[in-house]
Amino acid sequence: MKVGILALQGAFIEHGKKMEELGIPYKYVKLPEDLEDIDGIILPGGESTAMGKLLREFNMLDLLRKRIEDGLPVFGTCSGMILLAKKLYNDLTVHLGVMDIEVKRNAYGRQLGSFNCRGHFKGIDNLVEMVFIRAPYVTSIREDVDILSKVDGNIVAVRQNNMLAISFHPELTDDLSVHKYFIKMIEELS
Ligand code: GLN
Q: Could you give the ipTM of this predicted complex?
A: 0.95
Helical packing angle, 177-189 and 12-22, nearest 10°:
70
Domain CATH number, residue 178: 3.40.50.880
Give how far Cα 63 sits from Cα of 109, 153, 163, Å: 33, 35, 16
Q: Which residues, 6+ apart, have CB-to-CB distance to 135 below 8 Å? A: 78, 106, 107, 108, 113, 114, 156, 167, 168
Closest atom, ligand 1, to C-alpha of 105: 4
DSSP state of 145: P
Any catalytic annotation for residue 117? Answer: no
- Reading the chain (190 residues) residue by residue, the pLDDT tens digits are 999 999 999 999 999 999 999 999 999 999 999 999 999 999 999 999 999 999 999 999 999 999 999 999 999 999 999 999 999 998 999 999 999 999 999 999 876 678 999 999 999 999 999 999 999 999 999 999 999 999 999 999 999 999 999 999 999 999 999 999 999 999 999 9
Ligand 1 atom closest to Cα of residue 78: 8
Ligand 1 is surrounded, with C-beta below 6 A, by: 45-48, 78-79, 82, 105-106, 133-135
Q: Which residues constitute the domain of residue 86?
A: 3-188
Look at the chain and report how many structural domains it folds into: 1
pTM over 0.90: yes
